[in-house]
Structure 1
């Protein structure tokens, strides 16, 4: 299990626009149609990564809780499906249903969106405010597969709560750790 850290995109960065296939609805969706009026959580995930499998229950729980409050969640998979076919759109759709995702699970086939967001690992979390400016990037919490720490979503929850209250978000943020994005050989 490779351990790769987030690259920590600069705070204040405006979310890059995208139009990607939602593997659940089978429709193309773009950022401006999906963003939340109070904030938008963009998560780079995949089906097979043990780190993502570990956090799936918490991100599903958080999405249900915070979508009602104006924070929209979006999951994106950018992995090379030629070498990792279990991360392909068909299996993404199955995974989204099995995990009860209440948010779109988008497929970044050419990996251009992962590059625009400077995503490095799965999971990689990016929280944007209502103006789509980056206010948090980093870990969900300190829990990792096998480390025995409870899955709470503490770090990300604190950032979302502060965003909702209009309070400052601590700029000292810990990078997420997970499996590296599986880049196509011509994209590395």
Structure 2
């Protein structure tokens, strides 16, 4: 398991479209997930200790961001043959157990992760109302273990700022997580 950091925010980069199946039985496009003030696209998976360390905070933040007009969507792009904990039935179970307040999508051919340039789980892409990238940072100071309870809510505050004015903070700390598990091609 290699911990990776995604690159810095490429401000203004448009959000790539997608059409992916979700754990709720529907298929979602990019436009189905956006809120009136923006969209948070998250690449996560079930088995990653970095995701497991923040999932409760992430759920809380996505619920609160909806009140600010920010939509949220989670995408799982790992190779499920090599990592069966991330297989679709397990995604469905986890989303139901934790009552995800966002669609949890399966990127079976990994094309969406490639289009976004996602490199790790978790990897966050925060877009404004025009679906222009404004945030590519971390949730908070958590790593393989949850950060302190009073850790600044970096992702939440950045997305609130984007909802209010369309622009993200210039200073962003990259997320850290497990590498996306690419299939051998």
Check whether TM > 0.5: yes
Which residue number corresponds to residue 123 of structure 2? 124
2:45–2:121 CA contact under 8 A, matched in 1: yes
2:107–2:113 CA contact under 8 A, matched in 1: yes
| Paired residues, number | 185
**1:145-156 equivalences in 2 (<5 Å):** 145-146=144-145, 149-150=148-149, 152=151, 154-156=153-155
- Per the alignment, do residues 65 and 111 of structure 1 end up closer, same or farther by CA in structure 2, a change over 3 Å counting? same
Which residue number corresponds to residue 71 of structure 1? 70
For 2:136 and 2:150, locate their aligned partners in 1 and report how far apart those are by CA, in whole Å. 18
Q: CA RMSD in A?
A: 1.6
Scaled by the length of structure 2, what TM-score is found? 0.94
2:162–2:168 CA contact under 8 A, matched in 1: yes
Which residue number corresponds to residue 7 of structure 1? 7
Gaps of 5+ in 2: none
Residue 125 of structure 1 aligns to a residue in which SS? strand
- Per the alignment, do residues 107 and 168 of structure 1 end up closer, same or farther by CA in structure 2, a change over 3 Å counting? closer
Residue 65 of structure 2 aligns to a residue in which SS? helix
**1:54-133 equivalences in 2 (<5 Å):** 54-133=53-132
Residue 138 of structure 1 aligns to a residue in which SS? coil
Give structure 1 regions of 4+ aligned residues with deviation exceeding 6 angstroms: none
For 1:18 and 1:31, locate their aligned partners in 2 and report how far apart those are by CA, in whole Å. 6
Tell me, yes or no, if structure 1 residue 166 matches structure 2 residue 162: no
Gaps of 5+ in 1: none
For 1:13 and 1:167, locate their aligned partners in 2 and report how far apart those are by CA, in whole Å. 13
Which residue number corresponds to residue 21 of structure 1? 21
Scaled by the length of structure 1, what TM-score is found? 0.92
Residue 142 of structure 1 aligns to a residue in which SS? coil
Shift of 1:121: 0.4
